Amino acid sequence: MYGDFLGHLTGVLGTPELIALSAIGAILGIVLGCLPGISSTMSLAILLPVTYAMAPEAAIVFLIGVFSASVYGGSISAILLNIPGTPGAIVTQLDGYPMARSGRAGEALTIALFSSTLGGIVGLLVLMLIAPLIVAGAMQFRSPEFAAATVFGLTMLAYASPGSTFKGLMAGLVGLVCGMVGFDTVTDTPRFTFGTTLLESGIDLVPLTVGIFGLAEVMRTIELGSAKTAAVERIGRLIPPWRSLLGLWGSIGRGSILGAVVGAIPAAGSAIAVAVSYTQEQRLSRHPERFGKGAPEGIAAPEASNNACVGGALVPMMTLGIPGDSMTAILMASLLIHGLRPGPMLFADRPDFVAAVYVALFLALIFTLIFGLVFIRQIVRLLQLPPNILLVIVTLLCFVGAFAIRNNVDDVIVMVAFGVIGFIMTRLKIPIAPLAFGLILGPILEENLRRALIVSDGSWLVFVERPISATLLAISLLAVLYPMISPSLRKGLKVGRAKRLNDVE
């Protein structure tokens, strides 16, 4: 078994076309990631149509190259412009920009690059070690467990989304409804089509994701204006003193482990990992007063954590078919387009594809490191690109990508509609990621829910009689109820504490 899997690994590494695609994906990821306003999610959304004609292995190699490299690219604008290119780079700017302003921009960029690479390697190791263990357990899953796991994934996403958990749940439910649009696969009855042929074939995932992640972001950028902070022009030396680099191993190691663990939790996301990692380093530091003023540890730990999340987020997607974050949701869309369904059976049926995922992440890390060292000065010049030109290019890619999936103008209309919906949701502070997750997980939930009820003769007790499904549903219910009861709990604890102090007095 292991010999066959190693054969698949070496087979991918020995394919020049795949290596070239990984290199192209990495350079595009760095470029798009460093441009303010283009997140990792948006980069994947606008480049997803490029993979339609590719083989599944080629598509995943290219997209993972974009994904992993764009995570590092986001730190470039965070350090030089004080504008994070990706959500995970929000913390990097706290110490990266002060270092750049003091003439150490090159050192800050290199620290971020090395930390991202090492963190990514830890994330890859976690993926390779943990995924088979989860798959071994998931092979025992039946329809009730898969249905409960889907509910768990949606609930965790809503719970971890910024703002109200209730709003996140509502967005997820809207996504579930969107997944039911079109003809019922069992009864062949049209649902939620409102008598129009536009919706008879259902809502395709690609136009929806390009709309809410791509076009909506363009609208938001136009609304906010195109003012840019002046970039730091002098990069300075790129390689920091080796002694200072060696002193960062602890921060990189802690950030990497934390990022990989948090990334493996469905919907936790890199923003949580980098925030926790930064806070931890500040608490452990002998000189916490340096943080926020250009501390190298303030760059190393969150950047390692940020890239370790990439491998961690692939764990639930690959093993359970639950996207770990919005980026892996788009990767999952690519797999579904090519007729592959992530989950435990993917490891049994397509070990060659699983090997391609591992190799893709490894190649992406290596190419990001090489391109980051060799072309960083040239890439930095892209930050001077006029924002209006950038927005026009992104808008064109959104329209072309939506049309190319089925050469259907209806998909363009759907893309524009969800672009407007995504923009309105952002204005109302409603998280948009649960909407895309709901569309992905909705058909999976419906299929397994129906099958479980058929097998149990319509008894809903089947979901609580099985230990795994009951546990997942209990955790989901707790996540929903906790935001409602936590104010009362805090109030009760506060009253109890005050009462004890009065008794002491």
For 197-212, how does the pLDDT look when each residue is reduced to its tens digit (9 = 90+)?
777 778 877 788 778 8
Mean pLDDT of 254-264: 82
Find how far residue 231's CA is from the centre of its chain: 27
Between 133-137, 355-359, 420-424, 496-500, the lowest mean confidence (pLDDT) is in: 496-500
Please provide the average confidence, as pLDDT, over all residues in the chain.
78
Q: Burial code of 217-237, b = ≥16 C-beta within 10 A, e = fewer?
A: bbbebeeeeeeeeebbeebee
Is the pLDDT assigned to residue 217 strictly greater than 80?
no
Region 312-319: mean pLDDT is 82
The span from the CA of 236 to the CA of 31, in Å, is 20
Contact status, residue 438 vs residue 157, Cβ threshold 8 Å: no
**Gap between the terminal Cα atoms of the chain:** 70
pLDDT of residue 305: 87
* More confident of the two residues 244 and 51: 51
Share of the chain above pLDDT 70, in %: 80
For residue 168, pLDDT beyond 90: no
Q: Is the pLDDT of residue 24 over 90?
A: yes
More confident residue, 267 or 136: 136
Q: Is residue 3 part of a domain?
A: no
DSSP 241-288: PHHHHHTTHHHHHHHHHHHHHHHTSTT-HHHHHHHHHHHHHHHH-S-G
Which pTM does this prediction carry? Answer: 0.70
201 Cβ neighbours under 8 A, 6+ residues apart: 182, 410
**For the residues 350-358, what does the mean pLDDT come to?**
84
Whether the predicted pLDDT of 50 surpasses 80: yes
Asked, for residue 93, whether it belongs to a domain, the answer is yes
pLDDT the model gives residue 214:
75
Residues 71-110: pLDDT tens digits?
888 888 778 776 666 666 767 877 888 888 787 888 888 8
Question: Could you give the number of structural domains in the chain?
Answer: 1
pLDDT in tens, 428-458: 888 777 787 778 777 878 888 888 888 888 8
Domain that holds residue 198: 22-498
State mean pLDDT over 159-164: 60
Higher per-residue confidence, 219 vs 155: 219
What is the pLDDT at residue 62?
Answer: 93
DSSP 304-315: HHHHHHHHHHHH
> Is residue 464 in some structural domain?
yes
Is the pLDDT score of 227 beyond 50?
no
Decide if 156 is inside a domain. Answer: yes
Identify the pLDDT of residue 366. 92
**Mean pLDDT, range 215-243, rounded to an integer:** 66
Please give the pLDDT value at position 352.
81
Question: Would residue 9 count as lying in a domain?
Answer: no
Is the pLDDT confidence value at 4 over 80? Answer: no
- Asked whether residue 285 is domain-assigned, the answer is yes
Domain annotation covers residue 43: yes
Tens digit of each residue's pLDDT (9 = 90 or more) over 469-504: 888 888 888 877 776 776 666 666 565 666 665 655
Residue 345, domain member (yes or no): yes
**Does residue 230 have a pLDDT over 50?**
no
Statement: residue 228 has pLDDT above 50: no
